Amino acid sequence: MAAARVLVTGASGFIAKHCIAELIRRGYEVRATLRNPARKDEVITSVGHAGADASGVEFVQADLLRDEGWDGAVAGCDYVLHVASPFPLDEPRSPDDLIRPAREGTLRVLDAATRARVKRVVQTSSIVAISLPWPDSEPGHVFTEKEWSNPDRPGATSYAVSKTLAERAAWDFVKSTPNAPELATVNPALVLGPAVDTDLSSSHEVLRLMAIGAYPAAPKIGFPVSDVRDVAITHVLAMTNPKAAGERFLSANGFMRLIEVGRMMTEILPDLKAKVPRRELPNWVVRTIALFDARLKPTLPDLSHPRPISNAKAHTLLEQSFRSPQEAVTAAVSSLRALHVI
């Protein structure tokens, strides 16, 4: 029997590279989309650093904001991992810079997948589509996949709005479209784990900024942590498990404050001790600095408001276990040093 063929969108992204590697290790035939086909060799090399030979991957050109290319990309595919979505560290000039490609791109992929009779699409969503409700939750509330963020919430970042609207659009599509593929979504948190190249994810860029002393003090924020290797496994399990159709999966484990991440960095690399944050800033200071430094604006909703999650559904339904936050941070920091980024 021929191996199932899987389309992975946004092959140049951090999570996508690890998804491609996981699919290859499990024997799937992989096709992947790139907005810029000139990045093909770069992706092949990076997937190699993730432990898989990507020389047999078929690369096709497709853009989230254009119709061209998507029918050809999904043709003959059994499954689609729709990973592509912009995630800048800074707020964009216009929210539509994130919302349009996230939402419209998702609908383009699902529309083409419907025409191609794809069995199931797994969409990469985010914890920010779950954990930013309105009004604010009670302290200590543990978030699950049953909850949705409110895109109209005051202070919601463009990224949070884009991921929420894109996932909502996907669920609406499969409910209202005849012969639509099955859908499952994966909602990671702060995605760390091993970097495979110097094209850093937003999460790894935060570690780089901490390592160069950009922030001698940290905001009072923390996040559930996702190891990118676990996130890739969640995608593949959600793709084929019969029970996963129609389900959302939080793919994260534990919780770490940013100051704790900094302390771990110095334990792994003692030479960073004088550069990483050594104390936490009062919230009013962070809000004041954010008026001038746009990189801090996404942190404001989380100041002194931890949002722990439960990964029980992935444990029970997918039978998945997760790496610890400490293992994810260690792998991230060690890989960034190996790449001479920090």
The residue ranges of every structural domain in the chain are: 5-338
Average pLDDT over residues 56-63: 98
pLDDT score recorded for residue 135 = 57
**pLDDT category of residue 290 using cuts at 50, 70 and 90:** confident
Q: State what percent of residues in the chain have pLDDT above 90.
A: 77
- Residue 122, judged by CB atoms within 10 A of its CB (0-12, 13-18, 19+), counts as buried
Quote the CA–CA distance of 255 and 88 in Å, as a whole number: 23
Please, what is the angle between helix 96-115 and helix 158-176, to 10°? 20
Q: Could you count the other beta carbons within 10 Å of the beta carbon of residue 285?
A: 12
Please give the mean pLDDT across all residues of the chain.
92
Predicted confidence (pLDDT) at residue 90 exceeds the cutoff of 70: no
- pTM as predicted: 0.94
**pLDDT category of residue 297 using cuts at 50, 70 and 90:** low
pLDDT score recorded for residue 281 = 83
pLDDT score recorded for residue 330 = 98
pLDDT, tens digit, 9 for 90 and up, residues 300-342 = 767 767 788 999 999 999 999 999 999 999 999 999 999 999 9
Set 163, 220, 275, 313: catalytic member: 163
* HSE (side-chain half, CA atoms, 13 Å) at 101: 21
Number of separate helices (H) and strands (E) present in the chain: 11, 12
pLDDT, tens digit, 9 for 90 and up, residues 200-228 = 999 999 999 999 998 888 888 888 999 99
Predicted confidence (pLDDT) at residue 91 exceeds the cutoff of 90: no
Pick the CATH number of 5-338 from 3.40.50.720, 3.20.20.80, 3.90.79.10, 3.30.1370.100: 3.40.50.720
Active site residue 17: no
**pLDDT category of residue 126 using cuts at 50, 70 and 90:** very high
pLDDT score recorded for residue 89 = 57
**pLDDT category of residue 116 using cuts at 50, 70 and 90:** very high
pLDDT score recorded for residue 14 = 97
